[in-house]
Amino acid sequence: MTLDEIIKSRRDTRHFTQDEVPEEVIQRALQAGHYAPSVGLTDATRYYLIKSDEIKKEVKKLFLDYDQKASNLTDDELQKKQYQALKLEAIEEAPLGLVICYDRSVLNHFTIGTVGSNEAIKFSAVSASQNIWLSLTEQGYSMGWVSILNYYQFKQLLGLPENIEPLGYFCVGKPATNYDNQPMLQQLNWKQKAEKPIVEEILVFTPITATESLRGTKQSRSDLSSKSSDLDKALQQKIDNKTKPTGSLGVLETLAKQIGIVFQTLEPQITNPHIAVFAGDHGIANHGVSAYPQDVTRQMVTNFLEGGAGINVFCEQNNIGLTIVDAGVNYDFPTNANLVSAKIGKGTQSFLHTSAMSETELNLCFTKGKEVVNSIFETGSNCIGFGEMGIGNTSTASVLMSILLELPIEDCVGQGTGVVDEKLTQKQNILKKAIEKYNGPNDLQSKLAYFGGFEILQMAGGMLQAKENNMLILVDGFICTVAFLIAYQMNPSVKENSIFCHSSAEKGHQKILDYLDVQPLLQLDLRLGEGTGCAVAFPIIQSAVSFLNEMASFESAGVSRS
């Protein structure tokens, strides 16, 4: 057969004979896969052969379970029956099972070609699968791709390491039919394949614009406290009239008054409290500023989605809603993953060599952050906490702090994920070099674009929108406070709505709190991020509201003041 004939006759096969696949056939096909393009010669593609009937049976169970869920996604009964009638796999019938995977651990070491997109190693594995398919077809055999699986359970069943990601399960054997020389779904009139590829030449480019520029960010309404002197006095009187010595509830009294002023009522209520965790990757992480490889960002987001992280535990404990936001992780999460996709790009560029992002991307960060907060506000939430995740983001935050507060970088850099001694000195030197190399404009927008992080700037935009919505804003640790510092420089009144939940163990955090002249609620030496400080502090905030609303006054309790 010619190459064109091989390509045309390649089928996603679901019907196989019982003929065994000769060893030389599979080895030739796998060698063809090995010849496929491999980004940066990473050789990240891995193959696993399955001949055991017992393993095939267990894989089939996984398919049937997920296939039932897929069938239930449609309310159209006719379509459901048509779907259920389709033969979508031949897991037990095919003489050989093949699992094609890619090894994410290769990303722990710098490889040319993977900086722009870590997903390139997945694309390499897909190229290998196509080569295998074509080789099998040329030899008179074929494959069928089964992707209707719970991949987490699939990996567990096969005992695959955490760093090995499967493309799916492939059924391999000699085809029992040629499907009338057309795709099976087309043969069954499920859907017709277009005769020709869809091709269009792009002749002009369209400038990307954000709905609202950073310079044009609308100011929030004027200072609430200046318009609320009567409420201020009434709240203080209500607090002082509780059955307690004046000022004896300390910070709780300050909190209660602040919350009452924010919500403009003597009886404030916190409704549907929520925490949004923004995740993004940073190009500076490629220079050894973190104790962990960049891929940990993706791993931790997966952990959030599976409910296994600290923020999951504390949110569940305190009945707080949780939203995970992909602001710019260097990974393509499944479209059905329970997260908000606000991805600006697959990680920023390294500001050691170039601007982390463009001005357009900067504006998009603020727009996306505001959209995330608005969607939470529309659920009836009037209290939002901010958290973050991103390998390398303490470096980004340290540089932003240094620039915004005009402090030496040595005063701003902390351990982050745990770098100490020589590694900490190396981190400081790299960041100092990056700042010294900057020769761009001196305005805030230019500096934020050059040194910013997608998740940090989305949080800043989100905080500004939370102020617009008159929500209570809970600020977590060092990185979130740097995001707040950006928002504060753009609209100082955002401080009125904000509660600083803790002073972290990160070196620069207390300096920012001192600059803002704010008192954090807790000092627990936290430096986990994720918004955990917000979640842990929330019961204290709720206690302030509860005593203001429910504690008896001297008059109602009949208690003498003297």
Q: Which two tokens stand for residue 17?
A: 């004979």
Residue type at 321? G
Q: Which helix (H) or strand (E) holds 383?
A: strand 383-389
Angle at 389 between CA 382 and CA 322, to 5 degrees: 35
Rounded to whole angstroms, what are the CA distances from 216 to 23, 363, 491? 67, 10, 12
Residues whose CB is less than 8 angstroms from the CB of residue 188 and which lie 6 or more positions away in sequence, other chains included: 86
Number of neighbours of residue 441 by Cβ within 10 angstroms: 11
Bridge partners (DSSP) of residue 502 are 522
Find, among 432, 429, 368, the residue nearest to 399 by Cα. 432
pLDDT by 10s per residue, the chain, length 562: 899 988 888 888 889 999 999 999 999 999 999 999 887 778 889 999 999 999 999 999 988 887 777 676 666 787 777 777 777 789 999 999 999 999 988 877 766 666 556 678 889 999 999 999 999 999 999 999 998 887 778 888 999 987 888 999 999 999 998 877 777 666 666 667 777 887 887 788 766 554 443 433 344 444 444 556 889 999 998 999 888 888 889 999 999 999 999 999 999 999 999 999 999 999 888 887 887 788 889 999 999 999 999 999 999 999 999 999 999 998 878 766 789 989 998 888 889 888 999 898 999 999 999 999 999 999 999 999 999 999 999 999 999 999 999 999 988 887 655 666 677 888 888 899 989 999 989 999 999 999 999 999 999 999 999 999 999 999 999 999 999 999 999 999 999 999 999 998 888 899 999 999 999 999 998 888 899 999 999 999 999 999 999 988 877 766 766 6
Cα 223 to chain centroid, rounded: 34
Residues whose CB is less than 8 angstroms from the CB of residue 285 and which lie 6 or more positions away in sequence, other chains included: 293, 294, 391, 392, 395
Q: Is the dihedral of CA 291, 296, 297, 302 positive or negative?
A: negative
Residue 39, CA atoms < 13 Å, CB-side half-sphere: 24
DSSP string, 231-254: HHHHHHHHHHTBSS-TTTTTHHHH
> Beta strand pairing status for 383-389 and 274-280?
parallel
The 3-class secondary structure across 514-542, one letter per residue, is HHHCCCCCECCCCCCCCCHHHHHHHHHHH
Residue type at 407? L
Per DSSP, the three-state class of 440 is coil
The answer to whether 455 touches 278, Cβ cutoff 8 Å, is yes
The answer to whether 45 touches 117, Cβ cutoff 8 Å, is no
The answer to whether 481 touches 500, Cβ cutoff 8 Å, is yes
Has this prediction a pTM greater than 0.75? no
Quickly list H helices, 139-250.
151-158, 184-187, 229-240
Of the residues 406, 530, 550, 555, only one is catalytic, namely 530
Q: Which helix (H) or strand (E) holds 324?
A: strand 321-328
pLDDT given at position 223? 47
pLDDT given at position 203? 81
| Burial (0-12, 13-18, 19+ Cβ within 10 Å), 248 | exposed
pLDDT given at position 217? 39
Q: Which helix (H) or strand (E) holds 167?
A: strand 164-173
Q: What share of the chain is helix, strand, coil (3-state, %, to 5)?
A: 45, 10, 40
pLDDT given at position 225? 45
DSSP state of 267: S
Q: Which helix (H) or strand (E) holds 57?
A: helix 53-71
Residues whose CB is less than 8 angstroms from the CB of residue 348 and which lie 6 or more positions away in sequence, other chains included: 280, 281, 282, 283, 284, 328, 356, 357, 396, 452, 453, 454
Residues whose CB is less than 8 angstroms from the CB of residue 220 and which lie 6 or more positions away in sequence, other chains included: 464, 467, 468, 491, 493, 494
Cα distance between residue 167 and residue 98, in whole Å = 10
| Burial (0-12, 13-18, 19+ Cβ within 10 Å), 51 | exposed
Angle at 443 between CA 441 and CA 447, to 5 degrees: 75
pLDDT given at position 506? 84
Place of tokens 């329970």: 338
Residues whose CB is less than 8 angstroms from the CB of residue 72 and which lie 6 or more positions away in sequence, other chains included: 80
Please say if 267 is a catalytic residue: no
pLDDT given at position 143? 95
Bridge partners (DSSP) of residue 101 are 46, 166
Place of tokens 């979130």: 480
Strand order in the sheet with 321-328: 340-341, 321-328, 274-280, 383-389, 472-475, 498-500
